[in-house]
């Protein structure tokens, strides 16, 4: 897979090299971890790229390289993009963090935007969405709808973003269903439909009737559909083709406004290194339509929660909350600060199992 | 930890499903390599098979027609490899890698309009009495026909290679193509047939992923199975039954480790995640202690005038 990714990216970089053009267009590059047709994470980033093209028309040129492995390959691809005259490069996966910083050092005049990371520099911004806000809504629906009281969760890599999602889901499922139990499987990939399908099947075989995924393909949805009475949630993209069952709702990452704003900033010369972390309130996180498979009262509660989070009235990480080891984390009414959330490396009380270190 | 949550019967049944794409691709590549050709394009042929099979079965509503076309699709792509390596005498490693890149690219082009579509279901074989048996029924008698076809193919390849005249010729071509040529055997023709067979098998394996194991079409969905199949052939010392053992081990441990994780076993997940690779390699290396070696002409270019 590594070799194949490497070759694919190398070939595409060569392609980019030969297509070099020199003009005054603003050139925006995108580095993707999966294929644009994954139906999830990369698909939404690519929609953002298309929105940039739509917005600025002839004034902008976008390039992208898909299936770029996290690691040295990514560095090569970014370097090539910068050499080809890209003015702004979006690197759209957590594992591109160090490569982005390394390449940014070599090209101080090129602006970089790294998604979901926490390392910044004068020409490196970070941006992410508060997916955990959407997870809270999903946790509520999951807790209300599970009959077996077993919720399956497919984790990709044990990084803070994924752990936040698990905690947020669990807190809200537990709140409405004290008997709920989480089974978590780590697949160590963002995109591998066969493995994601296997993980979903395993969870279903072990009694889960709700399956959540933090991986990029729609394979778990297909596995749940085949199994019958199992509900799922669209991840990163609406995955509406699996509605109304198994997909009962979704988190949609809407990157388009951000990508347009940042491209505009580069054009106007007002670009600055910033740390953006938006959620439901700005629309960066959207909640996909809650289907009719969800009972009307549960749907109303879920929508009320979306409303409350969006208006800032409710924070999904509001105390009293304890860590898994029983130690206190947040007191009554206290809310988590962004620093703790950004580096979250612990489960909340009640989740079984250890986070792989 | 709650091991009782793991149902061993379902586990074995699902490991057979997980192993089948790998098995199909590996048995095809095994024949190709036995004929002295190294085709690194397995991944490319698999993904083309995956979309060919998917598209045809969606359009016609028949999964079996889909599998047939997947085999044809894989074979057609391998024809490109035949032209490059057998007639233009290009380097096999480079041609194989090119085949994979080309296959990945063309498959996503072909698959543009098939994202998010559900394929027609492939029925399971249902034998009266046998399929109803507890334990044995779900494990042996409740699968789709392609799974049995894969096992039958292993047996057929084994018999063919070991006991038939054609198998002998094929192995001769793979061991020493000059000698085989001097004896009057058509080296290029034998190799072409082997490569086409390998392409068809890889195509079937790919379609098994897109039509049965996942079942849907997503770009790049074979996600490296072709490369694992290539490694498996080497570790199986080019022996069909060992390829079967290897594929089942790999598929089995992959499914088992997910089961153990879900059951909350206190083994660090990293070890579980790498266990399929480690254990499969370990077992096959131990098995291959009998000094069986690669076909002598593997990867060498044949030209009749040399």
What DSSP line would sit under A160-205, residue for residue? HHHHHHHHHHHHHHHHH-TT-EEEEEE-S-S--HHHHHHHHHHHHH
Q: How is domain A2-129 classified at the CATH fold level?
A: Rossmann fold (3.40.50)
A1, pLDDT greater than 50:
no
A21, pLDDT greater than 70:
no
pLDDT value of residue B284: 78
Chain A hits for B264, CB-CB cut-off 8 Å, are: 183, 352-353
B86, pLDDT greater than 90:
yes
Interface test with A, best of B1, B9, B262 (most A CBs within 10 A): B262
pLDDT value of residue A90: 97
pLDDT tier at B287 (50, 70, 90 boundaries)? confident
Q: Do A185 and B268 touch (CB under 8 A)?
A: no
pLDDT value of residue B224: 86
Secondary structure class of B19 (helix, strand, coil):
helix
Task: Tell me which chain B residue has its CA closest to the CA of residue A197.
Answer: B214
Mean of the per-residue pLDDT values of chain A: 90
B33, pLDDT greater than 80:
yes
Q: Do B213 and A197 touch (CB under 8 A)?
A: yes
The answer as to whether B304 is a domain residue is no
Task: Tell me which chain B residue has its CA closest to the CA of residue A184.
Answer: B262
Q: Sign of dihedral through CA atoms B154, B160, B163, B169?
A: negative
B85 touches chain A (CB under 8 A): no
Q: How far apart are CA A15 and CA B15, in angstroms?
A: 41
When pLDDT is averaged across residues A158-164 and rounded to a whole number, the result is: 92
B108 touches chain A (CB under 8 A): yes
pLDDT value of residue A20: 45
A22, pLDDT greater than 70:
no
A12, pLDDT greater than 60:
no
B113 touches chain A (CB under 8 A): no
Q: Do B216 and A3 touch (CB under 8 A)?
A: no
pLDDT tier at A318 (50, 70, 90 boundaries)? very high
**Could you say which DSSP state residue A335 is in?**
B
Give the B window 235-274 contacts with A, CB below 8 Å: 254-255, 258-259, 261-264, 266, 268-270, 273
pLDDT tens digit string along B47-70?
Answer: 999 999 999 999 999 999 999 999
pLDDT value of residue A277: 92
The answer as to whether B123 is a domain residue is no
When pLDDT is averaged across residues B103-122 and rounded to a whole number, the result is: 85
What is the extent of the structural domain holding B89? Answer: 3-111+144-290
When pLDDT is averaged across residues B64-82 and rounded to a whole number, the result is: 96
Q: How many CB pairs under 8 A join A and B?
A: 129
Q: Tell me if B40 sits within 8 A of B230, measured CB to CB.
A: yes
Pairing of strands A285-288, A247-253: antiparallel
The answer as to whether B95 is a domain residue is yes
Chain B hits for A216, CB-CB cut-off 8 Å, are: none
Chain A hits for B261, CB-CB cut-off 8 Å, are: 184-186
Q: Do A219 and B218 touch (CB under 8 A)?
A: yes
pLDDT tier at A303 (50, 70, 90 boundaries)? very high
Q: How is domain A131-252+287-342 classified at the CATH fold level?
A: Rossmann fold (3.40.50)
A159, pLDDT greater than 80:
yes
Q: How many angstroms separate the CA of residue B285 from the nearest CA in chain A? A: 22
Q: Do B14 and A202 touch (CB under 8 A)?
A: yes
A8, pLDDT greater than 70:
no
**Of A3, A38, A184, which is closest to B218 when you measure between CB atoms?**
A38
When pLDDT is averaged across residues A19-37 and rounded to a whole number, the result is: 79
> Number of structural domains, chain B?
1
Q: How far apart are CA A251 and CA A249, in angstroms?
A: 7
Higher-confidence position of A213 and B11? A213
Question: What distance lies between CA A23 and its chain's CA centroid?
Answer: 34
Q: Do A219 and B227 touch (CB under 8 A)?
A: no
pLDDT value of residue B285: 80
Q: Sign of dihedral through CA atoms A213, A217, A219, A221?
A: positive
pLDDT value of residue A4: 54
pLDDT tier at A11 (50, 70, 90 boundaries)? low
pLDDT value of residue A5: 56
Task: Tell me which chain B residue has its CA closest to the CA of residue A239.
Answer: B116
pLDDT value of residue A23: 56
pLDDT value of residue A13: 52
B160 touches chain A (CB under 8 A): no
pTM of the complete model: 0.82
pLDDT value of residue B208: 95
Q: How far apart are CA B234 and CA B132, in angstroms?
A: 39
pLDDT value of residue A356: 84
B124, pLDDT greater than 80:
no
Q: Do A193 and B263 touch (CB under 8 A)?
A: no
| Low-confidence winner among A101-105, A231-235, A340-344, B8-12 (lowest mean pLDDT) | B8-12
Q: Do A4 and B10 touch (CB under 8 A)?
A: no
Q: How far apart are CA A19 and CA A290, in angstroms?
A: 45
Each domain of chain A, given as residue ranges in start order, spans 2-129, 131-252+287-342
What CATH number should be reported for the domain holding residue B46?
1.10.3470
Pairing of strands A247-253, A88-91: unpaired
pLDDT tier at B9 (50, 70, 90 boundaries)? confident
A330, pLDDT greater than 50:
yes
In DSSP terms, A65 is beta-bridged to A31
**Of A189, A193, A202, which is closest to B258 when you measure between CB atoms?**
A202
**Of A11, A191, A203, which is closest to B262 when you measure between CB atoms?**
A203
**Of B100, B108, B222, which is closest to A37 when you measure between CB atoms?**
B108
Rounded to 5 degrees, φ, ψ at B289 are -70, -5
When pLDDT is averaged across residues B276-293 and rounded to a whole number, the result is: 79
Task: Tell me which chain A residue has its CA closest to the CA of residue B219.
Answer: A37
pLDDT tier at B4 (50, 70, 90 boundaries)? confident
pLDDT value of residue A124: 96
């Amino acid at each position: 897979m590594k070799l194949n990714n490497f070759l694919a990216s190398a070939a595409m970089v060569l392609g980019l090299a030969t297509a070099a053009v020199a003009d005054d267009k603003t050139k925006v590059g995108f580095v993707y971890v999966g294929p644009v047709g994954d139906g999830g994470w990369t698909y939404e980033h690519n929609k953002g790229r298309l929105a940039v093209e739509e917005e600025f028309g002839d004034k902008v040129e976008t390039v992208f390289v898909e299936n770029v492995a996290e690691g040295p390959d990514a560095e090569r691809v970014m370097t090539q993009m910068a050499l080809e005259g890209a003015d702004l490069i979006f690197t759209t996966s957590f594992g591109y963090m160090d490569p982005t910083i390394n390449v940014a050092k070599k090209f101080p005049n090129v602006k970089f935007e790294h998604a979901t990371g926490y390392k910044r520099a004068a020409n490196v911004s970070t941006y992410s969405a508060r997916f955990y806000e959407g997870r809270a809504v999903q946790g509520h629906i999951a807790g209300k709808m599970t009959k077996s009281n077993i919720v399956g969760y497919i984790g990709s890599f044990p990084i803070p973003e994924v752990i936040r999602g698990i905690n947020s889901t669990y807190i809200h499922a537990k709140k409405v269903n004290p008997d709920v139990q989480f089974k978590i499987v780590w697949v160590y990939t963002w995109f591998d439909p066969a493995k994601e399908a296997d993980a979903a099947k395993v969870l279903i075989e072990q009694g889960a009737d709700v399956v959540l995924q933090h991986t990029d393909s729609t394979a778990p949805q297909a596995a749940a559909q085949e199994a019958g009475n199992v509900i799922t949630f669209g991840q990163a993209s609406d995955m509406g083709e699996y509605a109304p069952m198994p997909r009962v709702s979704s988190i949609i990452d809407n990157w388009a406004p951000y990508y347009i704003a940042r491209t505009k900033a580069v054009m106007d010369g007002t670009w600055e290194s910033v740390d953006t972390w938006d959620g439901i309130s700005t629309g960066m996180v959207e909640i996909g339509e809650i289907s009719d498979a969800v009972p009307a009262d549960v749907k109303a509660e879920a929508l009320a929660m979306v409303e409350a989070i969006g208006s800032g009235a409710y924070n999904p990480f509001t105390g009293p909350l304890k860590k898994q080891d029983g130690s206190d984390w947040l007191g009554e009414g206290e809310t988590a600060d962004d620093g703790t959330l950004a580096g979250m490396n612990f489960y909340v009380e009640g989740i079984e199992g250890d986070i792989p270190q | 930890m709650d091991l009782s949550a793991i149902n061993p019967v379902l586990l074995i049944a699902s490991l057979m499903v997980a192993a089948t794409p790998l098995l199909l691709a590996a048995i095809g590549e095994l024949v190709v390599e036995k004929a002295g050709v190294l085709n690194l394009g397995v991944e490319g042929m698999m993904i083309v098979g995956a979309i060919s099979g998917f598209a045809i079965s969606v359009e016609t509503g028949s999964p079996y027609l889909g599998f047939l076309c997947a085999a044809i699709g894989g074979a057609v792509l391998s024809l490109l490899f035949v032209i490059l390596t057998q007639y233009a005498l290009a380097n096999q490693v480079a041609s194989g890698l090119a085949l994979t890149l080309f296959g990945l690219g063309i498959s996503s082009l072909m698959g543009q309009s098939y994202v998010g579509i559900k394929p027609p279901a492939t029925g399971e074989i249902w034998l009266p009495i046998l399929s109803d048996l507890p334990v044995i029924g779900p494990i042996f008698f409740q699968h789709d026909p392609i799974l049995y076809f894969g096992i039958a193919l292993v047996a057929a390849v084994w018999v063919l290679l070991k006991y038939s005249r054609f198998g002998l010729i094929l192995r001769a071509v793979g061991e020493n193509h000059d000698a085989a040529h001097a004896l009057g055997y058509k080296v290029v023709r034998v190799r072409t047939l082997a490569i086409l067979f390998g392409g068809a098998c890889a195509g079937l394996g790919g379609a098994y992923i897109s039509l049965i194991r996942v079942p849907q079409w997503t770009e790049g969905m074979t996600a490296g199975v072709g490369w694992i199949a290539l490694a498996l052939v080497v570790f199986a010392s080019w022996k069909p039954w060992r390829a079967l053992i290897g594929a089942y081990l790999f598929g089995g441990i992959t499914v088992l480790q997910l089961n153990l994780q879900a059951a909350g076993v206190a083994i660090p997940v990293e070890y579980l995640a790498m266990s399929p690779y480690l254990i499969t390699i370990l077992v096959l290396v131990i098995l291959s202690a009998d000094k069986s070696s690669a076909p002598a002409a593997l990867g060498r270019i044949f030209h009749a005038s040399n």
